[in-house]
Structure 1
Amino acid sequence: MANDRLVIFDCDGVLVDSEPLAAIAYERAYARNGLTIKPEVVAHGVGMKQADIIVKIHELTGQLLPDTAAGDIWLETKDLFTEQLKPTPGLPEFLAALKTARCVASSSSVERIIHSLAVTGLARYFGDAIFSSSMVARGKPAPDIFLHAARQMGAEPSHCVVIEDSRYGVQGAVAAGMTAIGYTGGGHTFAAHRAELEAAGANVVCRSWDEIEAVLRERGFI
């Protein structure tokens, strides 16, 4: 099993087009608590776990969400995801054809990952192969979540490819000794997105699942 190839997917912004909705959820959760932030501020924490995003927002704006109000973020997020969340364009067809072992390694909570996959119809492609940063000591950009996922799936890090949309995720994949593919096909992409992922160490950056399929074939993962 250790020689098998493994494709590791980030969830938010890769499997599901969630980042624009998540930014709105943060704005609403902060407003619930008398705090004002703009959705674009949340973009600075894309790829981080929630606790680290809250710290980042505090650093950038001076607005600190009380620990007792952290649950408000999930309440707002869950409502938006249930109503509006979609897979990224072309992903269901890509997953339906993918025969390589795969798993999810996300900074989000297990509850959020499961909900995201359920409402978008993607859960059947991953089963129980879901890993959250809540399972490890350090979140991205540390390599912990990716190394944990590889161990649980029985794959060597050098035989793993990680698909990520954030610089923190790419940095974590590189630190784990894995091939990093940057993805810029989500609704939160921006002009310097490709350059940012390349600077973080992505081996290649793709804007569609067709491009990713071609890269995986070229590198022997399909």
Structure 2
Amino acid sequence: MKGNNIGKAAIFDLDGTLLDSMGVWDHVDDVSLNSRGIAVPEDYAQAVSHMQFREIADYTIARFNLSDDPQDLMDEWNALAREAYATIVEVKPHAVEYLASLKASGAKLAVATTLPPQLRDPAMDHVGIAQFFDEICSTDDVQFVGKDQPDVYLHAASLLNIEPHHCTVFEDILPGLQAAQSVGMKAWAMHDDSSDALWPQICEVADGVLFDFSNAPLVL
């Protein structure tokens, strides 16, 4: 397939898409909220799934009427998550092989994530995928606009110098898929347990669906 994807790009989410890491955030939510005498509501993870880090802190403080400063809360979450991202998380099955095949085919590759650099970089180094990517960006780079808007995907495409209609986004959340499609990008959905409640809607919206990367598209 060498050369099949010249002039095209693949833009990947990390949490729940390339990384089998959503359990990290379940643990962080449990520890953080339980320490304040609050049980994690069933809808909490879904409610914050498209938000960037600061938005989640603001939302959490408002929803549970916390007295915490947003930065202090984010620092707490980072401390809880940092070790897990650097030592425990793994890639989704067949992800490494798929990234290597896309790279060999001439595609440009980017990461577009809500994870801040202090979490995303150790995780990517730990699982051995950083070398495949031409560009790595976060919602931090687009004034913290969440993934319900296309800003971070457009930013990744711009960094790669690839037009949006030649980009394919791989995501596990419905708002991200819809945002990517709204600017002419293809959007493939990766199943993750955290998105089970919305999986029927995701299947209706996505250009393709995956349970691992063994059947991911060879031509973008």
Q: TM-score range by the shorter chain?
A: 0.7 to 0.9
Return the match for 2:202 from 192, 197, 220: 197
Deviations 1:79-138 (A, max 9, x none): 222332111112112222223211101111122211210111111222x51011011132
Q: How many equivalent residue pairs?
A: 209
8 Å CA contact retained: 2:50, 2:146: no
Q: CA 1:104–1:61 in structure 2 vs 1: closer, same or farther (change >3 Å)?
A: same
TM-score under structure 1 length normalisation: 0.83
Deviation of residue 208 (structure 1)? 2.0
8 Å CA contact retained: 2:82, 2:118: no
8 Å CA contact retained: 1:81, 1:116: yes
Distance 1:25 1:102 in 2: 30
Distance 1:172 1:64 in 2: 33
Match of 2:187 in 1: 180
SS in 2 for 1:188: helix
Deviation of residue 47 (structure 1)? 3.3
8 Å CA contact retained: 1:182, 1:194: no
SS in 2 for 1:76: helix
Deviation of residue 159 (structure 1)? 0.2
TM-score under structure 2 length normalisation: 0.84
Deviation of residue 188 (structure 1)? 3.5
Return the match for 1:122 from 123, 129, 132: 129
- Higher mean Cα deviation, 7-16 or 44-53? 44-53
Distance 1:13 1:65 in 2: 28
Return the match for 2:165 from 155, 158, 169: 158
Q: CA 1:64–1:166 in structure 2 vs 1: closer, same or farther (change >3 Å)?
A: farther
What residue ranges of structure 1 are gaps of 5+ in the alignment?
Answer: none
Deviation of residue 62 (structure 1)? 4.9
Return the match for 1:13 from 16, 35, 60: 16
Q: CA 1:39–1:97 in structure 2 vs 1: closer, same or farther (change >3 Å)?
A: farther
8 Å CA contact retained: 1:91, 1:209: yes
Distance 1:169 1:64 in 2: 31
Match of 1:83 in 2: 87
Opposite residue 149 of structure 1, the aligned amino acid is A
What residue ranges of structure 2 are gaps of 5+ in the alignment?
Answer: 1-5
Percent of aligned pairs with the same amino acid? 24
Deviation of residue 26 (structure 1)? 2.6
Q: CA 1:187–1:86 in structure 2 vs 1: closer, same or farther (change >3 Å)?
A: farther
Distance 1:139 1:86 in 2: 24
Deviation of residue 154 (structure 1)? 0.4
Distance 1:197 1:60 in 2: 27
Opposite residue 116 of structure 1, the aligned amino acid is A
